Amino acid sequence: MSGLRPAGPEDAILGVAPRSVVEPASVDEAVEAMQACARDRLRVAFAGGGTLLGLGAAPTGLDVLLRTRRLDRVVDHAPSDQIVVAEAGLTLDALQRALAQHGQRLALDPPFGARATVGGIVAANAFGPRRTRFGTARDLIIGVTLVRADGVRATGGGRVVKNVAGFDLPRLLVGSLGTLGLIVTVTFRLHPLPEAAATLVLSRPAASKVRALVRSLRDAQVEPTSTLLLAEGGALRLGVRFEGFGPGVRQQGERLAALASAAGLACEWLDEAGAASFWARHDAVRTGGPVRVRLAAPPSALEPVLRDAVAPLGEALSGGGAVLDPLVGCGFASGAPADAAAAVARLLSARQALVALGGSLVLEAAPPEVRARVDAWGPPPPALDLMRRLKARLDPEGRLAPGRFVGGI
Amino acid sequence: MPEPHADATTQELARRMAAVVGEANCVSDPGGLSVYECDGLSHGRVRPRLVVLPASTEEVVEVVRLARAAGVPIVPRGSGTGLSGGARPTPGCVVVALSRMKRVLEVNLEDGWVRVEPGVINLDVTRAVAGRGWYYAPDPSSQSICSIGGNVAENSGGAHCLKYGFTVNHVLAARVVLDGGEVVDLGGAAPDTPGYDLLAALVGSEGLLGVVTEVTLRLLRRPEATRTVLATFPSSDEAGAAVSGIIAAGILPAAIEMMDTLAIQAAKAATGLAWPDQGSLLLMDVDGPLAEVEHTARRAIEIARQAGATQVSVPRDEAERQLMWKGRKSAFAAVGRISPNYMVEDGVIPRSEIARVLREIGRMAAEAGLRVANVFHAGDGNLHPLVLYDARNPGEEERASRLGGDILRLCVKLGGSITGEHGVGAEKAAYMAEMFTPDDLETMALVRCAFDPETRFNPDKVFPTPRLCGEQPGPYRPHPAEAAGLAERW
């Protein structure tokens, strides 16, 4: 295989070091590299910006790390069709800069945009606070080119938003963590950059009142692009962002302010700098420490989630906090464990509570002593057998990111 | 009862199926079977071996087991409104019709979802929650008769998917019966179930992966306001420019529909609407919070005028709005008034190519000596050319079919798709190879084989060449003794 170099300690995934690293500079080189791995039956994992290599379990073994960072081109941006084709290693920030020149954006905003790559975002199903309105990569991806374990290049989806020809390979790859194939290019639908935006923050709602507040928000028929409950040091703040045209943003902001007033809550309409700092705080809180977890539960379970997951995790993890989207039912918690055993106990009980509610707790990062006692994914999903069958069809030798995914896939 | 001369396998299978679903729900007589010979695409009829109408997941499991034991293919079917032959029977198959499974099982407005059986009609989902201000967003034109199970199979869209997305964006969970009789739950009421997004593979799989027996659908709050704008233009060039201008202005309408002269004439004949006879027409909805909607509707009207709109009108009331939409939604059927026969095509092009493609379609139609009416979802470039022909004229149907195929090839050439919402089914399987490479198709087939290794479900659809899954026994061939009725395979 050309371009192979010996691996260093920085190439390890969760402590498992590959022997070699390859950094293809083109899709053709990536195909060659994958063919070489297939020929030599090498176990291979993929890395983009490396911001979520802690998601999932450690690989059971690794021969090659394929880094996508040299696959960093915007292949095609068609502003009038609102689509972009990008190579997997392009960073989110670089993509957004290119799109902004045409007044457009990809409506995905996970943290670490300077390093996070589009391929990594898709593979790890990374998302940010705009999920409230725009969903995840699943809702924005319209095409993908992948290289299979056997080195075969295949494309699914297309370049148009509306398309039902064939099976949905693009969405199937979202969140697959490099276990089904190497993503080499991704095609996304785009949205216009908003003309106006407003962020309002409601301070210190009681946990017991938040659910009613969220319900009244929904009944007010507003369309926020983000709703975010920020839990830090035992106190809650609810941030709501509206984006669109001036009159609509203003009216929706006023409506929210009226709701807050009716609920007896202080409501602050943030200026541009204040809004930027609030949303930056979101990123900091969800990534604030060596332990980072994803939380999910039905939206109506907000109170038990706050009581049985967010509060106990907050006690065991310092320096971080939690963020929750109360309309979607997803969130993150983070922090530094003062005592590993206590953190483990709280993580396990929080997971138990979330699973009982129909949700989940998944590790995004954790030190080895925590990982040793907290499974990365939690109880296997009911469709695990089918997932194994899918993996066996696409990667029959189990060479792609072995052991990283649910149920040891 | 099966025909007296039906082969022994069929008779025995019918007896066993009837024991599961009840005599009345196992159709084996020629008259009863003939109802199921096709779906919304009425040519290429195939009579199934049997039709069974199970009433529960448990019955579906038993039906699948019996079919598997008999080595018989299964074709799942919803309301049979599909336009690509997706529910057309495969020779010798059992059609599993889900129309008896039509209960709304659970409504949870706190979490914004409804759990239904697959036979529930699309519009009935909205009806179940409309009184409380909620609705189900995907709105295929057939929504008053098509079923949720069929929508899941086809990943149905509709006029309003421009803003709200397709069925795949609105399915939270599904229960599916696989070939082995296993019942698998995919997705859930909480987001981000760990594991592969198999739900994404299932939605739009056209009945090739299993039989869906329950679906949890996301519901939305009704938007506060909707503004409808109807604009007419001298030609499709100006109308296409208006669509591009509206999108470029950062407006995301709920829907933008376009009709050309022939389609307008047909809709007028059917509804009596006072639309102009010439040119092209745009029908647009913007919805959302009131101030946002008023602002965007105003901007869109300005842009339409700048693009050369000859007339812009806004409905006086909801009744008039409904009539305008009726004109659009009834356009397919209305074309029947201006032509003895027509074929509905469904292709997608990049939105920016609309005007050019319409001119090209006009040129191709003239060359073929046929007329084409265009009704389509302009916002997402989803064309529905209606190729008009008269089957009584020798050779005209073939010419129409060829023209339809040429239009699809044009879509692919421009970077579009051979289907935006009607599915590949039986009708377009041959075109898949024009859009995808053999490697692309093989990769999709691997996904299929993970679900259905014996390709039991809807075996002749979607893929251009029949294929088997590796490492699996070949297709079932009856033993001579069995074929002669001397033995059974149970």
Taking 80 as the threshold, does the pLDDT of residue B480 lie above it?
A: no
The average confidence (pLDDT) of chain A is 96
CA distance A13 to chain B (A): 20
Q: Which residue among A250, A358, A385 sits closest to B291, beta carbon to beta carbon?
A: A250
Closest approach of chain B CAs to the CA of A203, in angstroms? 24
Q: Are B377 and B420 in contact (CB under 8 A)?
A: yes
Confidence of residue B4 (pLDDT cuts 50, 70, 90): low
Q: Residue B166 and residue B156: Cα distance in Å, rounded?
A: 6
For residues B114-120, average pLDDT: 98
Nearest residue of chain B to residue A131 (CA atoms): B191
What pLDDT does residue B346 have?
95
Q: Is the pLDDT of residue A182 over 80?
A: yes
| A208 confidence band (pLDDT: 50, 70, 90) | confident
For A43, residues 6+ apart whose C-beta sits below 8 A from its C-beta are A59, A61, A62, A63, A64, A399, A400, A402
Contact A80 B288 (CB under 8 A): no
pLDDT at A140 over 50: yes
- Residue B82 near residue B461 (C-beta atoms within 8 A): no
The confidence band for B370, taking pLDDT boundaries of 50, 70 and 90, is very high
Residue B477 has pLDDT above 50, yes or no: no
Please indicate whether, in this complex, the C-beta atoms of A169 and B157 are within 8 angstroms of each other.
Answer: no
Over range B410-418, report the average pLDDT: 96
The pLDDT tens digits of the residues spanning A148-168 come to 999 999 999 999 999 999 999
User: Which amino acid is residue A340, in one-letter code?
Assistant: A
Residue-level pLDDT at B278? 86
Largest Cα separation within chain B, whole Å, is: 78
The secondary structure of B10-27 as a DSSP string is HHHHHHHHHHHH-GGGEE
Q: Nearest 5 degrees, angle CA A200-CA A206-CA A211?
A: 75
Q: What is the mean pLDDT of residues B256-268?
A: 93
d(CA B169, nearest CA chain A) in Å: 7
Partner-chain residue, chosen from A81, A138, A393, that has the shortest CB–CB distance to B350: A81
Q: Which two tokens stand for residue B25?
A: 């729900």
Confidence bin at B490 (pLDDT 50/70/90):
very low
Residues A92-118 have pLDDT tens digits of 999 999 999 999 999 999 999 999 999
CA of B201: which chain A residue's CA is closest?
A168
CB contact under 8 A, B155 and A164: yes
Kindly indicate the confidence band of residue A234, based on its pLDDT and cuts at 50, 70 and 90: confident
Measured between CB atoms, which of B169, B185, B186 is closest to A135?
B169
Residues A351-362 have a mean pLDDT of: 98
Phi-psi region at A241: left, alpha or beta (left = phi > 0; alpha = psi -120 to 50): beta
Percent pLDDT > 70 in chain B is 95
Say if the Cβ atoms of A172 and B200 lie within 8 Å. Answer: yes
Q: What is the pLDDT of residues B331-368, one digit of tens each?
A: 888 888 889 999 999 999 999 899 899 999 999 999 99
pLDDT digits (tens, 9 = 90+) for B139-174: 998 999 999 999 999 999 988 999 999 999 999 999
Degrees (nearest 5) of the Cα angle B273, B158, B397? 75
* B residues 397..426 contacting A (CB < 8 A): 415-424
Q: Is B436 on the interface with A (CB under 8 A)?
A: yes
- Whether B184 sits inside 8 A of A164 (CB atoms) is no
- Smallest CA-to-CA distance from A249 within A223, A213, A279 is with A223
pTM: 0.95
The tokens describing A397, both together, are: 């030798």
What is the spatial distance between Cα A319 and Cα A288, in angstroms, rounded to a whole number? 6
What confidence category does residue B2 fall into, taking pLDDT thresholds of 50, 70 and 90? low
Query: Which pLDDT score, from 0 to 100, does residue B121 have?
Result: 98
Of A368, A275, A287, A358, which is closest to residue A322 (Cα–Cα)?
Answer: A287
What ipTM was reported for this prediction? 0.97
pLDDT digits (tens, 9 = 90+) for B38-87: 999 888 899 999 999 999 999 999 999 999 999 999 999 999 999 999 99
